[in-house]
Structure 1
Amino acid sequence: MPGIDECLLEAMGLPGARGASVVEWTTGLALGTLGASPTNDHETTAVETAELARMAAEHTAFAPPANNGGEGGDGVKGPSVEDVLVTTPTSYHLLCFVDTTFDSSVFFHLWLDRDEGNLALARLRLQNLAERLVLG
């Protein structure tokens, strides 16, 4: 099972990939980065994307519906959101949450060129990387 560096290298092999990082969303700490950064500073990008990831993960609007009037949720530890997509005129930003055995507060950020990237392929591959990533 690959670690952070191997996963980032694999993510950067996707068509149109401009930059990739693994970020801890509660603190905004970049655990690993590779390639370019949209802000020209990986740490700033990590903090800014973590704000978006935290908002998506913590807001009840994105939580699964309650089970038979019970407490709600689907029993999954961590965010119920799988990924977040932001589009700009020139690029795609894909945030993919990583399910971990501890607190599940990690996500991949993949920055894709809009003309060269394949969003569907990137989403599937990033989800696969998130499932295989070994932290520790």
Structure 2
Amino acid sequence: MANTEIALKEAMMIEGALGVALVDVNSGMSLGAMGGGKDLDMAVAAAGNTDLVRAKLRVMEMLGLTGTIEDILTTLSTQYHVIRPLTAHSGAGLFLYLVLDRKRANLALARRQLQLVEAGLDL
């Protein structure tokens, strides 16, 4: 089992990773982040994507959907943004947020690797 810092480092090793954060969906606060830069403020992105996760959960509730969200994907012309809500009981209310360089990343492989990072998290 990996702690948050180790898990974030593992996520940053995913091919094409530009930034990663572990985010509390209730507060929008990042519990840890790596990467980013002047053009990618991970704290701002984490807070903004919290609204996206909340909205999706509300829609699922309104529709009576009983499944869980595996991930939410936003494709931009130069980046992929992957949101992965944690499914383990200890990670309830948290999500991993990964930003990838679209030219360097293999999306299917990155999603699988992020799943493995999640599975190894010890919260």
CA contact (8 A) 1:37 1:45 kept: no
Once the 2 structures are TM-superposed, how far is the Cα of residue 84 of structure 1 from its aligned partner? 0.2
What TM-score do the two structures reach when normalised by structure 1?
A: 0.81
CA contact (8 A) 1:21 1:110 kept: yes
* CA spacing shift, 1:106–1:39, aligned 2, 3 Å: farther
Does 2:15 align with 1:15? yes
* CA spacing shift, 1:38–1:51, aligned 2, 3 Å: farther
Does 2:108 align with 1:120? yes
- Give 2:52's aligned residue: 52
What's the % identity of the aligned pairs? 32
Which structure has the larger Rg? Answer: 1
- With a CA cutoff of 8 Å and minimum separation of 6, indicate the structure with the bigger relative contact order: 2
Deviates more, 1:31-40 or 1:17-26: 31-40
CA contact (8 A) 1:17 1:110 kept: yes
Secondary structure of the residue that 1:59 maps to in structure 2?
Answer: helix
Does 2:76 align with 1:88? yes
Equivalent AA in structure 2 for residue 115 of structure 1:
K
Q: How many residues align?
A: 122
Structure 1 segments unaligned to the other structure (5+ residues): 65-72, 75-79
Structure 2 segments unaligned to the other structure (5+ residues): none
Query: Which of the two has greater helix per residue?
Result: 2
- Give 1:2's aligned residue: 2
Once the 2 structures are TM-superposed, how far is the Cα of residue 57 of structure 1 from its aligned partner? 2.4
Secondary structure of the residue that 1:56 maps to in structure 2?
Answer: helix
* CA spacing shift, 1:131–1:40, aligned 2, 3 Å: same
Q: Could you tell me which of 105, 120, 125 is aligned with 2:93?
A: 105
